[in-house]
Each structure stands twice: as structure tokens, then as C-alpha cells.
Amino acid sequence: MSTYLHRKILKILMDSGVSFYNNKILLALSGGKDSLCLLKIVQDLGLIYQWQIGIIHCNHDWRSDSIENAQMIYNLAMELNLDFYLAKNNRQLISESNARQWRYYNFFTVASHDNYNIIFTAHNLNDKVETILYNLFRGSGTNGTLSLVDSKFITSLILLQRPLLSVNLNETFWFARYYCLPIWADITNMNLKYKRNRLRHDIIPYIKNYFNPQLNKHIIQFSDKLFIQVNSYYQLSYQVYLKIIHPKYLAIHIYHYSNLHDIMQITIVKILLKQLNISSFLDTTIKKIVIFLKNINYSNYILYLQDVVIIKKDIYIYFAQSK
């Protein structure tokens, strides 16, 4: 373990505060350059820190060579004596968003079932820039714009981490060549019918060429500053939330809530939904909830919205998960 990228990833993991010994790590592997680089680094570190490593591959069944791709990764796992998990798309997923949800569902299910405490994905710095721009173009709020973070706890026992998120394409390209890694080229990455690919191959190069060659650097700086601001405001909103919540139930004092700033009202709704383990609401839906909560000219009213029931009774509004 002597390369620059080994040392960089080791420092990233140490700075993140992750426990180093006796981890059980599930690594999402596509067979592409970045995921194979991460596998090599994790395997080398694992020998030192006694990690148990498993590999999960998600076969979207979108390509004619998808079976061969899965077979290659299976063979690699057997060669390295690593546990292997295969998820196959049998539901004919067609959208990038649905495919992403399906992948993470499989990651979390396997990790929970087989007691993995860390999940690694191989997203890199370029992926982060693409995600920020893609979500901005879609009209996402701050949560969507900042969705690709270095690490976050999925449960109290499972950490999702992206060790390559500050690593650029040139670094992984060099590393893959240095170790002659058996990269599987995904032909769909060049298909411009997918919006991500259009952004990667057309829009970002155009912006770098005609507007700002330092686009990646400045987008990351913007993201870091925005994260600090959003996190600070969230902490402030949470303190207010604790003051207006019902002492026993998941409910808020309607008059106190109505006097808050609009942005804080939205943040508190997100906190309430998080208490119900719901985080998939669109910003437009959350704004509808806020409008409902601010309307104090009713009594004993019930609102059904997706998986949530909101009940107005006396001076409190109660939140519950529908069954």
C-alpha cells in the first residue's frame, strides 16, 4: 500500500471518524474504473485493519452485455475470496431515478440482513458536480442539491460512505492503469438519451470551454458553503422545533408554528417527516403541507397525503404514518 491514492483515501477515512478495526464493509461494484479502484484500495486497507469485505452488483438488465458484466464481477469476487451479492432488475426499471432507488434499496437490505456496518459506493468528485447541476436543473431544493454527501448514517448501525467523493477522474484513471485493473466498459455511459450522460459529455464540457474552465472547483466550493449554511439553519430550526412540539405526541403547536419564517416552517415539516422515516416528499408537496398547517381557520380537520395523516385538533396539529 504505497500509492498517493491509497494515502489519500486512508486520510479521508481517518478524518471522517470511521472506526478502523473489525469493520464489515459492503462495496457496491459496477465493474467500472472507479469501483475497481475503490475495491483495490479497500482490499489493501482491509488486510491491515482486518476488514470483512463483501461485493454487491446491481444488474439493471439494460445492456446486451449485462450478464457478462455480472459474471466478470462474480469471478473477481471468487478470485479474491469475497462474498458476492447480485441484484437483478425484474421490474423493467426505465428511469434513472427509479433505478437509483432500487440500487440503494438492495444495498440497505443486504447490509441489514448480513450485518454490514459500512456501505461504500464509488462516486467521485465529477459525479458530485454532475449531481449538483442535474438537481439544480430539475428545480430541486437544497436537500436535492446537496444529496451526494461524503457519509451519512442510514440506521444507527449502518453508515453509507463515499470515499472517492473528493477524488477526480484523472486520479482514478492513473490508479487503474498503474495496477492494470480489469475495467468493464459500460457502453450506456455514452448514450445521450440519458440526461446524466448529456450533462457529462455535452453540457459540462461546453461550460468549461466557453465560460469557466474551473467549473468543478467552483461548484464544489459553492456546495461546501451551502452545506455549512443549510446545516446551521437546520440546527437552529431543530431548536425551535423542540420548543413548539407536543410534550408527548408527534405534534406541533399551530399558533407558534404559524408565526415562524416561511423557510423555518418548511424545515420543521421536513424534521417531522424525518421522525416518521419519510424523506421522499417533493418540495412542492411539502409546500402544500405548510399551506395547510398555516391555515388556522378550521377545527378538527384531517389531511391524508401519501403515507402521512395530518390531524388538526385544538391548538396542535398531529402527524402520523398512515397504514
The predicted-structure confidence for 242-251, as pLDDT tens digits, reads as follows 999 999 999 9
Name the pairing type of β-strands 52-59 and 24-28: parallel
In sequence order, what are the residues at sequence separation of 6 or more whose Cβ sits closer than 8 angstroms to the Cβ of residue 242?
A: none
Give the pLDDT mean for 2-31: 90
What is the distance between the alpha carbons of residues 187 and 206, in angstroms, rounded to a whole number? Answer: 22
- Whole-Å CA distances, 210 to 60, 195, 215: 36, 21, 11
Closest of 231, 220, 233, 229 to residue 132, by C-alpha: 220
**Domain made up of 4-210: CATH architecture:** 3-Layer(aba) Sandwich (3.40)
Residue 175 per-residue DSSP state? H
Rounded to 5 degrees, what are φ and ψ at 54?
A: -125, 155
Round the average pLDDT of the chain to a whole number and report it: 88
Please check the confidence at residue 311 and state whether its pLDDT lies above 60: yes
What is the distance between the alpha carbons of residues 35 and 176, in angstroms, rounded to a whole number? Answer: 10
Helix/strand/coil for 151: strand
Helix (H) or strand (E) holding 84: strand 83-88
Please check the confidence at residue 305 and state whether its pLDDT lies above 60: yes
pLDDT tens-digit series, residues 70-106: 999 999 999 999 999 999 887 776 677 788 888 999 9
- Percent of the chain at pLDDT > 90 equals 58
- Range of lowest pLDDT (33-37, 85-89, 92-96, 171-175): 92-96
What is the distance between the alpha carbons of residues 254 and 289, in angstroms, rounded to a whole number? Answer: 13
Please check the confidence at residue 298 and state whether its pLDDT lies above 60: no
Give the pLDDT mean for 39-43: 96
Residue 181 per-residue DSSP state? -
First CA to last CA distance, the chain:
52
The residue type of 230 is V
Domain boundaries, the chain: 4-210, 241-321
Helix/strand/coil for 89: coil
**Alpha carbon of residue 89 to chain centroid:** 20
Q: Do residues 12 and 166 lie in contact, with contact meaning Cβ atoms separated by under 8 Å?
A: yes
Helix/strand/coil for 283: helix
Q: Counting Cβ atoms within 10 Å, is residue 225 exposed (0-12), middle (13-18) or buried (19+)? A: exposed
Q: Counting Cβ atoms within 10 Å, is residue 213 exposed (0-12), middle (13-18) or buried (19+)? A: exposed
Q: What is the pLDDT of residue 276?
A: 83
Q: Do residues 269 and 293 lie in contact, with contact meaning Cβ atoms separated by under 8 Å?
A: yes
Residues shown for the chain: 323
What is the distance between the alpha carbons of residues 47 and 23, in angstroms, rounded to a whole number? Answer: 12
- Cell readout for 323 is 397504514
Please check the confidence at residue 9 and state whether its pLDDT lies above 80: yes
- Cell readout for 94 is 426505465
What is the distance between the alpha carbons of residues 81 and 226, in angstroms, rounded to a whole number? Answer: 43
Please check the confidence at residue 297 and state whether its pLDDT lies above 70: no
Please check the confidence at residue 281 and state whether its pLDDT lies above 90: no
- Cell readout for 304 is 391524508
Give the pLDDT mean for 223-250: 93
Classified by CATH at the fold level, domain 241-321 comes out as 3.30.465
Please check the confidence at residue 208 and state whether its pLDDT lies above 90: yes
